[in-house]
Amino acid sequence: MPFWTPEIHALRRPRLVRRQAIRRAIAGWFEAELFLEVETATLAVSPGNETHLHAFATARRGLDGGASPLHLVTSPEFALKKLLAAGESRIFEFARVFRNREAGPLNVHEFTMLEWYRAGETTERLIADVAALVSLAAETAGTRVFRWRGRSCDPRAPMERLTLVDAFARHAGIDLEAVLGDTALFAAAVRARGMRVAEDDGWSDLFSRVVAEAIEPKLGDGRVTILERYPLSEAALARPCPDDPRFADRFEVYACGIELANAFGELTDAAEQRRRFVADMDEKERVHGERYPLDEDFLAALALMPEAARIALGFDRLAMLATGADTVAEVQFAPLEGVS
């Protein structure tokens, strides 16, 4: 039955009320931390330039009938970084974002992303933020344990921290450092573990498959996991780790096998950022047959942007876990109908 029938809405409403309570509590936490809440546009020339993120396309019509291509954003990231360049230092946004080619219990075409930035601070501070906000969400919802599909997680327990090198060794039996940058060697290691390898798989394809199939399902079991120090090739907008440039200052957050957030220390080198974007769009064109334009204003703004740390958290997923829902659609007031 549709969500708008009184009977179904009455069943859904308790979780929706708790979702909004969590949102208010989080906004209050940021206000106490002296953050400014902002709102950015959902239309942009460039929706982002990551290989496997797919955007919705539209067009702006002029009075003369001419059309200029636009996209719905996959993240508010470029706009928020421009605000850092403009002089803001602590900002957050509950942004509506859009992802094409995604569907499932954890992935919908339109959802709420909570994104925040700390200028002049490090990813270590973001890890502390995550611990506080996950605990706050559970407390606000009256939840002691997150549960999802047979897994459980104590949102108040000290978080596990695991590097990608350790995760590959522990959960996949692969020496990640030994195969860095070597597609043939990596493919052989993946095959040896009984995992599928396609003829046209690149290094990043193999990396993503191992993470998705062998590592992610085991993360955030019992307590929240911080998965950190990604290979540099897997962090398009992150700066290198100062102690080892083979790896990026990036981490992801997991609970009950679900990715909740993605964070990194910001890359502010415009030339390097352009090089990465072009490489990713070349790969997108090879794999998916399309590419998105670069945001030239964003690249120009990098010259003014301070050192900063950024994190994007899937608010619907956090609300889902905190309220005991099975899908993100259950904690959306008006989920998209007629789409599966």
Q: What is the pLDDT of residue 85?
A: 98
pTM: 0.95
Q: What is the pLDDT of residue 61?
A: 87
Between CA 257 and CA 216 the distance in angstroms is 6
Residue 111 has pLDDT above 90, yes or no: yes
CA distance to 21, 94, 119, 175, per residue, from 126 (Å) = 22, 17, 11, 28
Tens-place pLDDT, residues 175-222? 999 999 999 999 999 999 999 999 989 999 999 999 999 999 999 999
Alpha-carbon span 23 to 94, nearest angstrom: 9
pLDDT at 17 over 60: yes
Spatial neighbors of 235 by CB under 8 A, at least 6 apart, are: 248, 249, 250, 264
The four Cα atoms 161, 208, 266, 311 give a dihedral, to 10 degrees, of: -60
Q: What is the pLDDT of residues 293-331, one digit of tens each?
A: 999 999 999 999 999 999 999 999 999 999 999 999 999
Is residue 340 predicted with pLDDT exceeding 60? no
What pLDDT sits at residue 1? 87
Tokens of 129: 């933020």
pLDDT band, very low/low/confident/very high, at 339 (cuts 50, 70, 90): low
Residue 288 has pLDDT above 80, yes or no: yes
Summarize pLDDT for 58-103 with one digit per residue, the tens: 999 888 777 899 999 999 999 999 999 999 999 999 999 999 988 8
* Model pLDDT for residues 149-169, shown as the tens digit of each residue: 999 999 999 999 999 999 999
The per-residue pLDDT for range 239-259, each reduced to its tens digit, is 999 999 999 999 999 999 999
Contact 46, 60 (CB under 8 A): no
DSSP 71: E
CA distance 119 to 268: 12
Q: Could you report the per-residue pLDDT of 27-62, keeping only the tens digit for each?
A: 999 999 999 999 999 999 999 999 888 999 999 988
Residue 270 pLDDT:
96
Percentage of residues in the chain having pLDDT higher than 70:
99
pLDDT of 282 > 90? The answer is yes
Alpha helices per DSSP H over 33-115 = 77-86
What pLDDT was estimated at residue 229? 98
Task: Give me 166's structure tokens.
Answer: 């350790």
Looking up tokens 């079991």, which residue turns up? 221
Query: For residue 92, what pLDDT is reported?
Result: 98
DSSP helix/strand/coil, 234: helix
- At residue 245, φ and ψ (nearest 5 deg) are -70, -5
